[in-house]
Amino acid sequence: MSAWHTYFLAVILLAVVESTSDGAVIELRDQAAIGQKGMIELGDVAQIVDADAEFVERLKHLPLTPAPAAGRSVRLPFEEIRSRLQAHGVNLAEVEFRGQLSTEVRAEEARPVHVPDERALKTQTRASLVTRSRPRQIPPSQIEEDKAREILTDAFRRAFRTGPLEAQGWRIRCEAESQDVRRVKAMYSEEIHFREGRVSPGTSQKLTAWWEDAAGETVEITVGVMIERTPQVLSVKQNLPTGAILRPDDLAWINADEETAGVTRIADVIGKQAARNLRAGQPLKMTDVASVPLIRANDIVTVSVQRSGVTVRRTFKALSTGAMDETVNLSAIDDPRIRIQAVVTGYHEASLSVDTEPQSRVAPQRGGYIEYVTPTTVTGAGGVP
């Protein structure tokens, strides 16, 4: 072979090598496994090699087809992969395919999340409370105290069988000391026992509660137990609208959590009107009722004036509104200059006690006062009234 032919073949071989090395190599795998995702990407089924790292990343994330359901598989043939790349605008002249003619893609099943057993957590918590050293004791929160109170109360009910006692209207409350709250909170109520065998209702008592910790040792704490009558407050038997006058037949006693939750005296609400709509079974509060106005503004009121054992009655016009035993302002009908303050004694009735002669223009008296109002003087143009 002549030197010229040798040189020509070398040039052709170099051109072929250079053209092959310039394109990205996509080597398809035989099998591939993917996690929980919606689409199969090219990077899931092939290994991509190219000098341009940015071009490789773009190829890896090209979507091919929807992923199969968890635990299932799908097979992607070479022709489908090639057509998807072409659909995404990839110049097939710039890539070289190698490897398998198809790839089987399997979607892995979701791994179950391990949830630790609640009782195991309780045991671990108790063990940590026994072995852990605490240089500084942090006071328990209100939530922790409420939880400890609930656990101790349930344990007390179980140990002393308090169902009949609570049915008779008795209330039970158990309290742990501050340093014992977290230890109680880490226990189950059925694991707590009491040294005492009997309790007396109506008193506050100190009992000894005990249980076995994670190390098998007996733990004892002091528990304050209060057994008291459930407080009762007033409520209405049926719904009443605003303005309704409360009568004895409208009221009923109900159990309440706190003594201050409602009205406890019937006399405080009888004869008063509802300040808002009242619902049956709800605790009645003093803000829910208001005194019934017996005198309203512009009403004609009969005023009784007592003086030296003699009672004189006269009609006045009300200038304000008042309920029983409240003070109202009135003016004389025939002479509006005369104004008085009297105490409401009934419907359109008031009283004014006058024991002495008035010594001044305004004379305060027991139960009210009388005031004479001087009429306003109108001055003419010449300054002469």
Per-residue confidence (pLDDT) for residue 31, from 0 to 100: 86
At 372 the pLDDT is 47
pLDDT score recorded for residue 20: 44
- Write down the residue that tokens 């003016």 correspond to: 331
pLDDT of residue 195: 87
pLDDT of residue 32: 84
Structure confidence at residue 300 (pLDDT): 93
Residue 346: CA count within 13 A, CB half-sphere: 5
pLDDT at 343: 93
Please state, in angstroms and as integers, the Cα–Cα distance from residue 243 to each residue in 205, 238, 268, following that order: 47, 15, 16
SS (H, E, C) the chain: CCHHHHHHHHHHHHHHHHHHHHCEEEEECCEEEECCCCEEEHHHHEEEECCCHHHHHHHHCCEEEECCCCCCEEEEEHHHHHHHHHHCCCCHHHEEEEECCEEEEEECCCCCCCCCCHHHHHHHHHHHHHHCCCCCCCCCCHHHHHHHHHHHHHHHHHHHCCHHHHHCCEEEEEEECHHHHHHHHCCCHHHCEECCCCCCCCCEEEEEEEEECCCCCEEEEEEEEEEEECCEEEEECCCECCCCECCHHHEEEEECCCHHHCCCCHHHCCCCEECCCECCCCCCCHHHEECCCCECCCCEEEEEEEECCEEEEEEEEECCCECCCCEEEEEECCCCCEEEEEEEEECCEEEEECCCCCCCCEEEECCEEEEECCCCCCCCCCCCC
Query: What residue has token string 């010594």?
Result: 359
- The rounded average pLDDT for each run of 10 residues, N- to C-terminus, in the chain (385 residues) is 49 43 76 81 84 81 83 84 83 82 81 60 62 64 89 87 77 87 87 85 85 86 84 87 88 74 83 88 87 89 85 91 89 89 91 57 46 44 36
pLDDT at position 359, please? 41
Question: How distant, in Å, are the alpha carbons of 40, 56, 73 from that of 67?
Answer: 5, 22, 9
pLDDT score, position 153: 87
The Cα 90–Cα 100 span in angstroms is 20
Sole residue written with tokens 């304050």? 224
pLDDT attached to residue 114? 58
Tokens of 277: 């709509």
Alpha carbon distance 269, 289 (integer Å)? 7
Long-range contacts of 131-138 (CB under 8 A, 24+ apart): 137/179
Cα torsion 40, 41, 45, 46 to 10°: value is: 170
Predicted TM-score of the model (pTM): 0.36
pLDDT of residue 55: 82
Question: Which domains can be identified in the chain, with CATH numbers?
Answer: 24-107 (2.60.480.10), 119-132+139-228 (no CATH), 232-290 (3.90.1210.10), 300-372 (2.30.30)
Per the structure block, which two tokens stand in for 310? Answer: 């003699």
pLDDT of 320 reads 93
What are the contacts of 70-73 at 24+ separation with CB within 8 A?
A: 70/36, 70/107, 70/108, 70/109, 70/110, 71/107, 71/108, 71/109, 72/106, 72/107, 73/104, 73/105, 73/106, 73/107
